[in-house]
Structure 1
């Protein structure tokens, strides 16, 4: 199909959709809600944000342009019992019939929103245009009017202790609003003079004070104990605001209410139950059915039928509540977090019981947990497609969640893969085999000698020891990689969505037991020396990742950040110099007669998702990576070099087919040369829901890789400020996804738009779209970013 036929087909398809009646199933006297507009004289709030308050929305538009699902629904016949009609209606979407009651309710919701934001005299009216046959356009007109502002704000909290606490800096816990999570030193109130009389901000201020108090013993305090009195009698649109403290109210069994001052609470007894059954349990301690009780560190541990499934010392270290301690909500949160890290336990629940002793309020604390399934086995099977070569992979996984009765997670995996390589250009390759295994132990605590227990508890980091072996067999060579590592993993205390990984030691030993002589001779000397020879990679690294995506709230904007840094070879190089080791003919030190790499490498990736409405989302991604070999290496190891193209990069190219720079690619170019030390990825994607679990995406990708310095065998592949912008490849495409919530299957296509590997006008591949030279497709799991 040539380009002219494609254009004609597209035009005919659009005309077919346009000719479909969208009011086929709109009855007499009814109107299809064709469009909704919001016109406001206040620019503080975007119309797109206000639409979430409307009770009725028009039919969904694919990519915000076409009511495709409504058209599909209208293709169905009136006989609802026919199978084809059922399917069309299931895929499609019934017409949204305008309801004047919902229009009035929407206007009231918009008015309520503006009133809460301080626009007390806001006016919202709705007009309905039915001039089009059986179609209605509803327009909401918002006149915000002059807002009310706060002239004076005072806190009149009669309890002096509570008043002093309320004026402290807000706690840094992530559950609080970001407005004061990162507050500067000396910050107190969220309410400022001359600010809008915003009721949402008033609620945040109440929550701020409540959090401060609950971290200082006031267990029974909640934000409803704080009230506001607003006086607007002085002048129109001016409010004098006062915060008052309500007394603690207790309702007796006879219905009477007793008021008393707020008191601080102290912890009395702490008990951990390891075999709690939330379904069959009754009331009281007898419902726990303990078979053994252990006293340790001032807490009681009740073991059940599973015996000492987790060592008492491990449970004690996970409890941040102790007898005699003043109640602190932060300690409760830390206890929840610590128990959540114990993979041997599940269903953690902390209960408190109030007790009054000699005018002192105390709390008995019971931590309820249940044992999880200790061992598990899983099998994974997947299909692969790399540069058009098909294959399959399978793995057998085993987990033990309580290896040494300290909730240590032991994981083991054996993986095998096969891939046909017959399609590789000019290589005559037959197949690719991979066989490997890995084992790791994750300790739910910071493991390091000579450190105090208090210091380890404060760090709250997990420790992972990992070893793996991987053997790859290609017709050109066989390569084996033996790896080992010692890492620490922890979450940010001020933000549970942030994750840190520090690789204290990361070792790779790359061994090539076999390499084809013709293949090796075809490679440039530097490439063969650094990329296809035995070598050590010994280093350390750190990575930080953040993602605020919440599967329970998919209608909010999201953003993610990942940054990593790695250094290798410095320790070995220092040892070589100290011991007076001699260099080889290439000027490099060796370890046990084997080369070792020396480099630094850094990566940063940022992604953001913008929700346009309940079924449309815009997402973009920016990724940059730079690696620099030095000292004992003039080139980065093959395992650490960047590649471009593929399902998570510039999708107009198959994996590892783009770059570096504008290096010209020929039929004899080895894949080993299409690697670099600098990467750039730019992605923009429009995602739209179709029906059931199906989602469609349209996207534009840009990027490339470059070498850090000029190499003779990679001409025009180096990064140069004077021309790098001319070497940024661009592609576009459509993708179809199947979203099952817990995982997503993705089929993406890509068409080259600008190809820096070509010369002259041939670079503009967008002028000659075809499925032979300028097209690639990809199958993957999960979103590309």
Structure 2
């Protein structure tokens, strides 16, 4: 697939040049804009005959709009209630999919006509019946949101076989929640009838008392619009509250609301009612009597009551916990017990059951987890009932071997890698997961003279993940129970060979990860220790980094860091919707080692420059100088889902690293760079900045710095089959903050840094095969900070040539 994409790119580029060269001399950069404009005209021509398959007395629904006079009403939710929507548009104007359908012939059952009609979109014909249905649905929605007096008018404009539909909504004053009553005794006279009163649970019942005590958490607030969705959330809250108090048989069907607006100005008083249950079991609390865990559950023979399967089962009793297994209990019982939020003797609690589901699934031992409860009628009494808990666990295979061939995208450089993975999911019978990975990767990197060279990397990693919170002299039971942290130990080694240098790196790390909520993930690496050796520097590379400050980042060094990162991601993988992604990371390096060296009175080493002059002193670890710095960065992304074919994605990144003490320069692998397939795509990777600095003579681009600011905006749209298109604009740069960095124009200046912001734009194509996405981006510089101040905007200042376009081939979306 990658080879096919490469051939396609070459074909398009070659044919475009052959077609244009005889007729154009590219006198100015407006040619590129003219070319883009011509392409859009051509694309528009494909879909200009949008009414080709619109019959007589029919009209193509070309536009639907909703105008509402209350900004508090969600326009997107209103649109979801409209039964007919126009054909999908790309770029807001281009009905590409309808155009494909219209390219087909009348016989839709044969050849290319069948294919075009299948991948295209049939014209949406206006129907008055659907308009009336939409009006009814909009009215229902508005009443659900408290707008009982809203009026809806529809207007249709017919012109040239096209119909434009507009809904005008006059919302009127909404009804709001007034007083909220949780007890019958607090109700005003005649709020409910004597018959209704008899049907309600009494104020003296524990259920009603729990409701009153927890009313501070009510979803219904005085002054809010009357909203059926809020009432639904309140029912869910009360139902869960009661189940958490031990009422196993309670359900939200017992909860209802009575509202009264008589004599009130657009207000409704609310009584939170709970129907008196016919069965006494609903008002009875239940306690867990026993727990039965089937750790080798196989649903098929169990349901068929297979005697052979049942004969292999054995049991182990630990108090009121029973474990059922075949042949051998492969996981220690305490691992299961510690993953449960409840124990024998505890009251039934729905939140603890949900917690237990999450903990058991997080062990990564089971492909199926089910927890169910059965009432034990023999053990219950007048006050409390009894439950037997049955936990069914279907285990994964304990060991797995995989061989992978994959595309790689490292710092914007495309390549391929082969990996051999071995995984043991239960190494010590405590749900410990052992991973052993061996890899061999080759990447193609472009030099500044447009020659490609290969970077080869060999490596291996061994890691051990355990569900236990391993921390010396600290059990942290409350933290462990609430957040379920996992501990991870890893060792890794990599060998990288490039034409300009060879680098080896040995790493060891130990840390934790946990979730504090549905969307928040934390990672804390207490120690990350890296030994980096750089050798075989080519003369060209040495000449490129003649700046001593930069050269120090390519010397042998040790990095000892403590790193914390926080990730917020509210993406719903099961539903296309808007979502936010935020990653914050902070790390500090060398401070612990430096403190020990000072306390122990370790001897310092002398640091001399190339002229034999004393530059300073430093400590070492095992004879290698260690780095000392702090670093923080933040990465925010917003995905705006317009419809099934159109998406906007925005990204903002800011990062800062400050080196001091033992090594007053950020190590190369910790420095920031820009450009490439995942950055500002109009520049090749590591070729932009810092600031207005330019080193065009460098054979191998390796521009790095201490501070990075970057913003990206990308519009993505679906085309046909697995193909997608994109348009983007990128802006940003990197800057140096150290006074020792004397590269001209590299230093960050608060008053003038905005003048050194690079801007690039471009278009892209993607092939989404579900398991992998191939990407081609074509970038064009709009503003180049390396040029003189009055020449930085490219448009109108530089003749255009195709050599100014930057191709980026990547794996996966850029962000």
How far did 1:188 drift? 2.8
Alignment of 1:547-626 (within 5 A): 547-554=569-576, 556-583=577-604, 584-585=606-607, 586-626=616-656
Does 1:66 pair with 2:94?
A: yes
8 Å CA contact 1:167, 1:188 repeated in 2:
no
Does 1:372 pair with 2:396?
A: yes
Does 1:487 pair with 2:511?
A: yes
User: Partners of 1:234 and 1:513 in 2: how far apart?
Assistant: 87
How far did 1:693 drift? 3.1
User: Partners of 1:453 and 1:545 in 2: how far apart?
Assistant: 23
TM-score, with length taken from structure 2? 0.87
Does 1:409 pair with 2:433?
A: yes
Match of 1:128 in 2: 156
Q: Secondary structure in 2 aligned to 1:721?
A: coil
Does 1:442 pair with 2:486?
A: no
How far did 1:53 drift? 1.2
Residue of structure 2 aligned with 1:731, choices 743, 747, 760: 760
Alignment of 1:25-424 (within 5 A): 25-130=53-158, 132-156=159-183, 158-160=202-204, 161-168=206-213, 187-235=216-264, 237-249=266-278, 258=279, 262-282=283-303, 291-296=313-318, 298-305=320-327, 307-356=328-377, 357-359=380-382, 360-383=384-407, 391-420=415-444, 423-424=446-447
Does 1:546 pair with 2:568?
A: yes
User: Partners of 1:525 and 1:550 in 2: how far apart?
Assistant: 48
Residue of structure 2 aligned with 1:473, choices 497, 502, 517: 497
TM-score, with length taken from structure 1? 0.90
Change (3 A) 1:450 1:328: same
Cα-to-partner distance string for 1:48-98 (whole Å, 9 max, x where unaligned)? 431111111000000222111111211112132442222322332110111
User: Partners of 1:64 and 1:111 in 2: how far apart?
Assistant: 28
8 Å CA contact 1:276, 1:288 repeated in 2:
no
Structure 2 unaligned residues grouped into runs of 5+: 1-19, 21-25, 184-200, 608-615
How far did 1:33 drift? 0.8
Cα-to-partner distance string for 1:716-770 (whole Å, 9 max, x where unaligned)? 1121102111111111122222334555333222211111122234311244584
How far did 1:129 drift? 2.0
CA RMSD of aligned residues (A): 2.6
Change (3 A) 1:443 1:769: farther
Residue of structure 2 aligned with 1:710, choices 729, 739, 752: 739
Cα-to-partner distance string for 1:468-527 (whole Å, 9 max, x where unaligned)? 0001112332211000100101111xx222111110110000123543466446533634
User: Partners of 1:376 and 1:557 in 2: how far apart?
Assistant: 37
8 Å CA contact 1:563, 1:604 repeated in 2:
yes
Residue of structure 2 aligned with 1:722, choices 751, 766, 785: 751
8 Å CA contact 2:691, 2:756 repeated in 1:
yes
User: Partners of 1:328 and 1:755 in 2: how far apart?
Assistant: 62
8 Å CA contact 1:685, 1:698 repeated in 2:
yes
Does 1:530 pair with 2:552?
A: yes
Change (3 A) 1:386 1:550: closer
User: Partners of 1:778 and 1:223 in 2: how far apart?
Assistant: 55
How far did 1:285 drift? 12
Change (3 A) 1:513 1:11: closer
How far did 1:242 drift? 1.0
8 Å CA contact 1:33, 1:97 repeated in 2:
yes
Q: How many residues align structurally?
A: 754
Change (3 A) 1:714 1:441: same
8 Å CA contact 1:296, 1:316 repeated in 2:
no
Q: Highest relative contact order (Cα 8 Å, sep 6+), 1 or 2?
A: 2
User: Partners of 2:386 and 2:354 in 1: how far apart?
Assistant: 19
Instruction: Compare 109-118 and 295-304 and name the one that shifted more.
Output: 295-304
User: Partners of 1:141 and 1:573 in 2: how far apart?
Assistant: 70
How far did 1:459 drift? 4.7
